[in-house]
Amino acid sequence: MSDINQARTALTNRILGGDGKTSPADRRAAFNDSGLAEPLRALVDKVAMHANWVTDQDIAAAIASGHSEDQVFEIVVCAAVGQANRQYESAFAALDAATGKD
Amino acid sequence: MRLKILDSGHGFGTKALFALIRTVSRQPVLDVVKLVQYRADFYGKPMGAITQDAMRGPSAWSVGDRELMAAYVAKTNECEFCIKAHTAVAQAAYRRDGKTVPDLSSNLDTAPVDEPLRSTLVMLGKLTREHVVDAEDMRAVLAAGASRQQIVDALAICFSFNVIGRLADAFGFSVPGPKAFDAGAKYLLSRGYR
């Protein structure tokens, strides 16, 4: 049985609420793909929606705007986990609807 | 790798580990290993717990089937690194079970995949491509013979590889030759994802 919900919550709590080089508000915004200023907004949106469209220039622009590599690392991780999380929760709701669970 | 810290920002002990990996495998250290070892408490360790459970925990799906799902999610995301990495593991896992890995390079409708794996892959592909699925999509997988728990297990794999594939593409993982992926597949089959 592969119930990853507890481990998924632990991952989310760690990246959003644990120690980091980026503010929790910015990590949450990256996770939600909402509320960041350029150029992070464009980078995060690509990570969420078309990660294979991310270019060297996207990362370079994030660094050039004053973010450290560690901050970009955290922001990109939060964006990736956030989008996968939304997919997972959509699918679980669909499965519950199909099997009659609330 | 687009961030220097992910390529060479590790501590002394981790760099020694990488040197050992290079010596033993005679292959470069895969970028995914460098990623999970960088500030491992932030991402690598909590993510590794999820991936290990999804890929190697108890499940009605074989390890080969699960690696095939990972490769299919990667194919849907057009993530070259993950396609090659997990196709290599799937091939090795199926070979270990005396089977041939289904070729998913063409249309899934014509690929030699049995149910309920085929319908599960179709659902995972839609979820990955469109980011949502509905109850009808799930009913189709259930009607093809998958149990609710098999779907739950498949969704865990889908979660893991929708995270990992995004990071591979965003951080610009280099894609080495097949020998490096074969060495990685051997490790992942024997040791898992922790």
Give the residue ranges of DSSP H helices in chain B.
4-8, 12-25, 31-37, 44-56, 63-77, 80-96, 117-130, 135-143, 148-171, 178-191
Which tens digit of pLDDT belongs to each residue from A46-81? 999 999 999 999 999 999 999 999 999 999 999 999
Looking up tokens 């865990």 gives: B156
Whether A102 shows a pLDDT value over 60: the answer reads no
A72 has a chain B CB within 8 A of its CB: yes
Q: Is the pLDDT of residue A24 over 90?
A: yes
Residues 31-50 on A with a CB inside 8 Å of B are 43, 46-48
Q: Among A23, A19, A4, A21, which Cα is nearest to A81's? A: A4
Distance of CA B111 to the CA centre of its chain: 20
- Look at A87 and B43 and tell me if their CB atoms are within 8 Å: no
Question: With contact defined as beta carbons under 8 Å apart, do A51 and B162 qualify?
Answer: no
Low-confidence ranges of chain B (pLDDT < 70): none
Q: What burial letters (b/e) apply to B98-129, b meaning 16+ CB within 10 Å? A: eeebbebeeeeeeeebeebbbbbbbbbbbbbe
Q: Which two tokens stand for residue B105?
A: 């390079």
Report the predicted TM-score, pTM, of the whole model to 2 decimal places: 0.96
- Segment A3-15 mean pLDDT: 94
Predicted local distance difference test score (pLDDT) of residue A57 = 98
pLDDT of residue B194: 80
B50, B132, B172: residue with CB nearest A8:
B50
Indicate the residue of B54, B133, B159 with minimum beta-carbon distance to A94: B133
Question: Looking at residue B107, what is its pLDDT?
Answer: 80
DSSP A51: G
Distance CA B99, CA B161 (A): 24
pLDDT value of position B109:
79
Q: What is the model's pLDDT at position A2?
A: 52
* pLDDT value for A1: 41
Q: What is the pLDDT of residue A54?
A: 98
A24 at the B interface (CB within 8 A)?
no
ipTM field: 0.96
